Amino acid sequence: MIVIAAYWLFLFIITLPLGIITVNVLKLKTQNTVITWLLGVVLLTCGFTLTAFFFPLGAPSLLTWSLLSLSCGIYYKAQVKQQLLAFYTSLMQLPLYLKIVIAIVSIGALLKSAQYPFIIDNEGYYIQTIKWLNQYGFVKGIANLHIFFAQNSAWHVLQAGTNFSFLTGRINDINGFVFILCMAYCITEGHALSQPGKQYWLSFMPLCTIFPFLFLDVPSPDLPLLLLTPIVLHLYIKDNNSNSNFKVALLLFTFLVFIKLTIAPLGLIFITGLLKKENIKFALAAAMPIMVLWVFKNILSSGYPLYPFGFFKTNSDWAIPKELLDLMAYINSGYGYKRNGSLLPEGTAITTKLLYWIKQDGLAGIVNKVTLAVLFIMPFCIINDKKYRLAYVALLVNFLAVLFTSPQFRYFLHLTLTGSLFVIAALYNYIKVNAGVYKIIVVAGSSMIFVTFFSFGLSALTTNKHHHEQSKITFQQLYLPETITKYPNMQFEKVRSGNLEYYSPRHNFLLFGTANGPLPCVNRVQIEFMQKRLGITPQLRTKDIKDGFYSAKTPKK
């Protein structure tokens, strides 16, 4: 916990000046210091993304961006002092029970971040994506080695840039830092906008803390979507005459698309605002450069500018085969419709798929049903305001887009969470509950995060055996976090295939599993599966691994 607290303090220090320079360059007005911090996160992510095209994300890149931040901090020292004072004042003005909530989530986040990673995707491609970035930066055709590496999420770029990989293999905790920032924003902003007898919907975020809390011990791109979606909608709804909130919301939304494309349909809320010439200029100046980085990152990683879409395939020799792209699209689209652990046959009627989707077992089934209930109730709860109505339409369209493409509950959990805040607030304000009840439920709701530290059977909530194990609290975690993998003792063997030598887990714990193996690392079973199914195998483009990979045609076995 102590190491992680020091790491977060470092992130607080370097992101605030970068946020201030973002605000000044783009001529934005921010009413809450947390927004400035978040804009610093955006700039730092874009900076590391640009760096990764040319250099590995190691000590030199971190030192460069830290010195740039320090220089900005010195140049804007008056604004830094002003922002810190404003943030301190906003915290001190909170009533005691909300200070207790912030203390609860902060301590819980530190302890959770110190534990072994929980989400199995970390062992599939998070660790390896970050490791490639640390040692090589962006690599041409990395998707040919492992198709999941094609995602190269901006969130993993940020983690790679700030994980001190040259000193330790235990820092994997960017999510906890952003969690603390966003919770502080929701609590302070929600309190400021609430009125006697009427709570603003953002103030109920502590009730839902347990959902983003589950993503704290890994750099999962799902977490920023969970936490920033309510903030983006809040800024959009509470836009003022200066148009500043709209611009900040648009920039943060573009950042979320940069992290994970599944949120793109939510951009419907910006359609009317982009009719203004001023906002179009801002989008071209601020949002467009981020999307340019996204396109070129995709080209380098997969050969497809709009990956995972198969449009506009480049003629580069490292472009992944179309049949591989189609196979992964089939697997991803069918995963949420699984029946008894198996994908439904191709050509299954959509009505049958939806029936299996709603009848999913465990946590997936619960979230699916809650999402439908929230989307059904929400129109009856929102204020008679066109912005709220458009926000609901955008949430609904985003849900439907995910439902008919890749209906995994993680991909629309941010919609469930945001919609739930609207519904809970509407019901609370309608019933006119005593203010003391609100104090009790937000403290109790935030305290629910500690349930995750106790051992209890998870088999009823998920059929994924890799999610049945929980990390246990140890004394060491108080001062030193666990390693970045839940399989620190995993053994690897060197395998040769054509001109490629790679490391494969000796134990096939997961088809796409790689854990923390040395580079290049990919599961031998996965290589054999692709060769048998598609007749392709990854090969080096040159004798130097940093020049990337391509897929060679091989006889199907």
Q: What is the reported pLDDT for 459?
A: 47
- Same domain for 314 and 356, yes or no, is no
Last residue of a domain, one of 276, 301, 332: 332
pLDDT in tens, 532-544: 999 999 999 999 9
Reported pTM: 0.94
Tokens of 457: 């059977």
Mean pLDDT, residues 373-390:
88
- Per the CB < 8 A criterion, the answer to whether 521 and 128 are in contact is yes
- 468 within a domain of the structure (yes/no): no
* pLDDT value of position 471: 67
Mean pLDDT for 13-39 is 94
Kindly state whether residue 346 falls inside one of the protein's structural domains: yes
Token couple for 104: 């609860």
Residue 255 lies in a domain: yes
Closest CA to 540 of 494, 493, 495, 502: 502
* Residue 51 in domain: yes
Domain co-membership, 39 together with 144: yes
Based on the domain organization, do 446 and 505 belong to the same domain? no
User: Both 52 and 97 in a single domain?
Assistant: yes
Q: What is the pLDDT of residue 365?
A: 87
Q: Answer yes or no: do 239 and 372 share one domain.
A: no
118-165 residue pLDDT tens: 888 999 999 999 999 999 999 999 999 999 999 999 999 999 999 999
Domain identity same for 279 and 223 = yes
Cα–Cα dist 54/181, whole Å: 31
- Assess whether pLDDT exceeds 50 at residue 493: yes
Do 339 and 328 sit in the same domain of this protein? no
342 and 430 assigned to the same domain? yes
Helices (H) and strands (E) in the chain, counts: 22, 4
By CB neighbour count within 10 A (0-12 exposed, 13-18 middle, 19+ buried), where does 449 fall?
buried
364 and 293 in a single domain? The answer is: no
362 pLDDT band, cuts 50/70/90, is: confident
Give the Å distances, CA to CA, from 477 to 381, 426, 440.
Answer: 44, 41, 30
Mean pLDDT across 319-346: 79
Give the tens place of pLDDT for each residue, 273-322: 888 889 999 999 999 999 999 999 999 999 999 998 888 899 999 999 99
Question: Is 480 a domain residue?
Answer: no
* Count, residues in the chain: 557
Of 405, 424, 453, the residue at which a domain comes to its end is 453
Would you say 249 and 232 are in contact if contact means Cβ atoms under 8 Å apart? yes
291 and 432 housed in the same domain: no
Domain limit, last residue, from 310, 332, 354: 332
**pLDDT of 241 over the 80 cut:** no
Rounded percentage of the chain residues whose pLDDT exceeds 70: 94
Q: How far apart, in whole angstroms, are the C-alpha atoms of residue 237 and residue 243?
A: 11
Number of domains in the chain: 3
Are 442 and 502 found together in one domain? no
Is position 145 within any domain? yes
Using CA atoms of 70, 76, 79, 83 in order, give the dihedral in degrees to the nearest 10.
-20
pLDDT one-digit tens code per residue, 153-192 = 999 999 999 999 999 999 999 999 999 999 999 999 999 9
Beta bridge partners of 540: 549
Q: Are residues 355 and 277 in the same domain?
A: no
Q: Is residue 517 part of a domain?
A: yes
**Taking 90 as the threshold, does the pLDDT of residue 527 lie above it?**
yes
Residue 357 located in a structural domain: yes
Q: Which domain holds residue 504?
A: 492-553
**Which helix (H) or strand (E) covers residue 539, if one does?**
strand 536-540
468 — pLDDT class (breaks 50, 70, 90): very low
- Tell me the C-alpha distance between 49 and 42, whole Å: 11
Mean pLDDT, rounded, of the chain: 91
